[in-house]
Amino acid sequence: MTFAQPPLWFIIIAFLCAIGPLVFFHELGHYWVARWFGVGAEQFSIGFGREIAGWTDKRGTRWKVGWLPLGGYVRFVGDMNPASQPDPNVEVPEESRRIAFHLRPWWQRFLIVLAGPLANFLLAIIIFAAFFMAYETPVTPPVANGIAAGSAAEKAGLQQGDRIQAIDGREIDSFEDLRRTVSIHPDAFVVIRYERQGEEREVGLRLGRETRKDEFGQPYDVGLLGLRPPQAQLERMTLVEAVPAGTRATANMTGLIVEIIGQIVTGQRSAKEVGGPLRMAQVAGQRASLGWPDFVYLIAAFSINLGFINLLPVPMLDGGHLVFYVAEGIRRRPVSERAQDWAFRGGLALLLALLLFTTVNDLASFGLFERLGRLIG
């Protein structure tokens, strides 16, 4: 069944409802750990640019919403800009030195910055755990109930009753995990570890490829192994079971992100698959139109992506700050202001280039350039 694309106004609202809470939770991670260490915050902003709404709390922190909803920041006492660069031209008053961010030990600054991405991972764990407690979740064992004729599994000699243990070193816990892992490796050569009648074995094989369409008629490629699943087993978890399961689900999705990025870097996947804010908005609108469970699940996936991206060692991102603080801890002195300035300039240029690249990809995926070509031609 194919669904109609949601209207533009619905997509915009869905995107804001997805991104807004994630950015808030991310920045709240920075803010609360900073509060724990006694660091003062001057601004807490969701979005960039001109303020469209805001208020000042009793501690003097300005909580506000900017007009450009592509991120957020906490500006601490002593910061020159939202990227938490210290201002060398401003002398921090004596009464503010005890709450200035840049005057804290490097390990405290490290933990304050790290708290943002960790908050996103924590949010994903909470969402997954809530799903596992609220709904019956498939926990089908990764055992072959049959082998599809002519499939990669048949060619490799896999048999009914074989239990898949790992694919390319990634542990497989359920048939659902098996499907997810196989799906992102179309045409890939993988090594499968499996158990047959109590004996552990390994086999290398090349997965198949199939082009499918999602609920909105958009094509995508998946890898195929050719194992038929056993009877699905569903269970609703308790809190004690759901939290570890939510943690595993978050770790597995993070691992899949790493694998997909590796495939793009090595040329196994097209760089055209890299999407930006426009595609995120489209997906948010589509998932929201399918119902709130799909939308909330997408928020968990977005949260993991946001946490992971911010951990990349790129200046301007949290990961770039973490690298500087580790270097400071090793060298026992801060990285020079000149080096930091050049690094942040380079990081900003890289992020702007990536934003431009992903926006072009998004517009191409929407068919805009084809339509322009037909109009011009």
- Asked about 27 being catalytic, the answer comes back as yes
Write down the catalytic residue from 27, 91, 200, 215: 27
Q: Report the run of H or E that residue 206 belongs to, with start and end.
A: strand 199-206
3-class DSSP state of 283: helix
What residues contact residue 353 under an 8 Å CB cut-off, 6+ apart? none
C-alpha dihedral, 163 to 167 to 169 to 174, nearest 10°: -50
**Residues 6 or more apart from 1 whose CB is under 8 A from it?**
215
- 8-state DSSP, 222: E
Bridge partners of residue 202, in order along the sequence: 193
Could you give the C-alpha distances from 236 to 127, 138, 245, 295, 325, in angstroms and in order? 15, 9, 11, 20, 43
Q: Which two tokens stand for residue 65?
A: 């919403």
Phi-psi region of 210 (alpha: psi -120 to 50; beta: other; left: phi over 0): beta
Q: How many CB atoms lie within 10 A of CB 226?
A: 21
Phi, psi of 99 (to 5 degrees): -115, 10
Distance from C-alpha of 100 to C-alpha of 98, rounded to nearest angstrom: 6
- Contacts of residue 336, defined as CB under 8 A and 6 or more positions apart, other chains included, come to none
Alpha helix locations (H) across the chain?
A: 8-36, 94-97, 106-134, 152-155, 175-183, 239-265, 277-289, 292-310, 318-331, 337-365, 368-376
Q: Is the distance from CB of 42 to CB of 60 less than 8 angstroms?
A: yes
CB-side neighbour CA atoms (13 Å) of 106: 15
Token code pair at residue 266:
């090595």
Q: Six-digit token pair at 144?
A: 């072959």
Task: State the catalytic residues.
Answer: 27
